[in-house]
Chains A and B, each alone.
Chain A
Amino acid sequence: MAVQVADQPVAEGEPEQQAFKPDLERIEIELLLEGIFRHYGFDFRAYAYASIRRRLWKRIEEEGLGNISALQERVLHEPEMMEKLLLDLSINVTAMFRDPSFYVTFREHVIPLLRTYPFIRIWHAGCSTGEEVYSMAILLREEGLYDRSRIYATDINEVVLQRAKAGIFPLERMQEYTDNYIRAGGKQSFSEYYTAKYGGALFDQSLTKNVVFSQHNLVTDRSFSEFNVILCRNVLIYFDKTLQSKVHGLFYDSLPMFGVLVLGSKETLRFMAHEDCYEQIAPPEKIFRKVK
Chain B
Amino acid sequence: MKELLGSLPKKFPIPIVVVQHRGKDSEKLLAQLLQDATDLKVCDIEDKDVLCAGTVHLAPANYHVLIDSAYLSLSVEEPVRFSRPSIDVTFASAGDAYGSAAIGVVLTGANDDGARGLAHIVKRGGRALVQDPKTAEIPIMPKAAIELVPTAEVVPLKKLARRLIELSKEDAKVKAGRRTRV
A interface residues, Cβ below 8 angstroms from B: 16-17, 20, 22, 48-51, 53-55, 91, 93, 234, 236-238, 240-241, 244, 264, 266-268, 270-271
Assess the A50–B60 pair: CB atoms within 8 A.
no
A residues less than 8 Å from B97 (CB atoms): 50
Chain B positions 115 through 132: 1 when the CB is less than 8 Å from some CB of chain A, otherwise 0: 000000001110000000
Note all chain A residues with C-beta closer than 8 A to B74: 234, 237, 266
Chain B at the A interface: SS class: mixed
A266 engages B45 (CB within 8 Å): yes
Does B169 lie at the interface of the complex (its beta carbon under 8 Å from any beta carbon of A)? no
Seen from chain B, the residues whose Cβ lies within 8 Å of a Cβ on chain A are 44-48, 60, 63, 66-69, 71, 73-78, 89, 92-93, 96-97, 99, 123-125
Contacts A48-B68, A50-B68 known; A267 to B96 CB distance under 8 Å? no
The answer to whether A91 touches B124, judged by C-beta atoms less than 8 angstroms apart, is no
Q: Which residues of A contact B77 (CB under 8 A)?
A: 51, 55, 91, 93
Given A20, A49, A266, which contacts B47 in the complex, CB threshold below 8 Å? A266
Known: A237-B74, A237-B75. A51 touches B66 (CB 8 A): yes
Q: Are A91 and B76 in contact (CB under 8 A)?
A: yes
Residue contacts A-B, CB under 8 angstroms, 26 given = A17-B123, A17-B124, A20-B124, A22-B99, A48-B68, A48-B73, A50-B97, A51-B68, A51-B73, A53-B96, A54-B66, A54-B89, A54-B92, A55-B77, A91-B75, A93-B77, A237-B47, A238-B75, A240-B68, A244-B48, A264-B47, A266-B74, A267-B46, A268-B46, A270-B46, A271-B48
Contact A266 B124 (CB under 8 A): no
Interface-central residue, A51, A53, A236, by most chain B CB under 10 Å: A51
Complex CA gap A241/B68 in Å reads: 11
> Chain A residues near B45 (CB, 8 Å)?
266
Return B56 CB to nearest CB of chain A, in Å. Answer: 16
A17 to chain B, nearest CB (A): 6
Tell which of B46, B78, B96, B125 touches A50, judged by Cβ atoms closer than 8 Å: B96
Q: A51-B75, A237-B73, A238-B75 are in contact. Are A266 and B66 (CB under 8 A)?
A: no
